[in-house]
Structure 1
Amino acid sequence: MSIFISVGGLIGAAGVALSAYAAHSGGGNVATAAQFLLFHAPLFVVLGLADNPNRVRTAGAGLLGIGLVLFCGDLLMRHFIGTRLFAMAAPAGGMAMIGGWLVIAFSGLGKKSR
């Protein structure tokens, strides 16, 4: 699914840009958000390049994407605007990312089709 490749590229670009910003401005929350974006960008690219996309794997990627938006969005809102995205946004995002990784792990347990 080429949309995953595009999303991975955008997430990676945002991670690099935010890393540069954090290095020059000393933003701890920005650096953490950048790291999480950079950690997850390759996964989206790999999922986009996979020959056999399936619904479970796509759901896991969606859950990871939602988690990244909530977690990183909350950290970036705190840094740039001085307020939270909403109460418990970062923990909810972290749980969504954990869930997304578990769903992707689960997707590897199914039968392989040829």
Structure 2
Amino acid sequence: MWIAIAALNLTFAVILGAFGAHGLKSFATPEQLAWWHTATDYFFYHALGLLALGIMAKTLPRLPIKFSFICLQIGIFLFCGSLYLMSIGIPRIFGAITPIGGAFMILGWLVLAWNAFRYPK
């Protein structure tokens, strides 16, 4: 299940990246394009992280990954989602959500590190 969710995230990252590269250029400002690019970069990084967690769940079954996975997924949704919304002209108030998404991403990685120290093998 974890790998399938990661693969879906990667699929959406490709679709949204392509849309940003081809569909936004005609009406987006340079600032909006930069937001879109940042969102897509972070989407890819963290979707690959989800894939790595899915693989770890298969190869290191004692390593708990569920909380990290959920935090990263929430982080993708909030961080990237808010940047995507601002990029298409939704009010900048959504920018207040972006750091919350970033905090979830950080928490996901910190919990993974904590669990890796606790369950070394």
Asked if these proteins are the same fold (TM beyond 0.5), I'd say yes
- Aligned equivalent of 2:48: 42
CA RMSD of aligned residues (A): 2.1
The question of whether the paired residues in 1 share the 8 Å contact of 2:50 and 2:72 is answered with no
Cα distance change on mapping 1:57 and 1:83 into 2, 3 Å: same
Number of residue pairs matched by the alignment: 111
Matched, 1:28 2:26: no
Shift of residue 56 of structure 1?
Answer: 4.2
Residue 102 of structure 2: aligned partner: 94
Q: Gapped runs of 5+ residues in structure 2? A: 26-32
1:41-86 deviations in Å (ceiling 9; x for gaps)? 2221222222234574211111111111111111111122512575
Contact 1:22 1:28 survives alignment (8 Å): no
Structure 1 segments, 4+ long, off by >4 Å, are: 84-87
1:77 counterpart = 2:85: yes
Give CA-to-partner distance per residue, 1:82-110, whole Å, 9 cap, x none: 12575621011111111111111111101
Q: Aligned equivalents of 1:35 and 1:49: distance in 2?
A: 21
One-letter code aligned to 2:19: Y
Q: 1:44 to 1:87 in 2, by over 3 A?
A: closer
Q: Residue 19 of structure 1 is aligned with which of 17, 20, 27?
A: 17
Q: Give the letter aligned to residue 52 of structure 1.
A: L
Alpha-carbon distance in structure 2 between the residues aligned to 1:61 and 1:54? 15
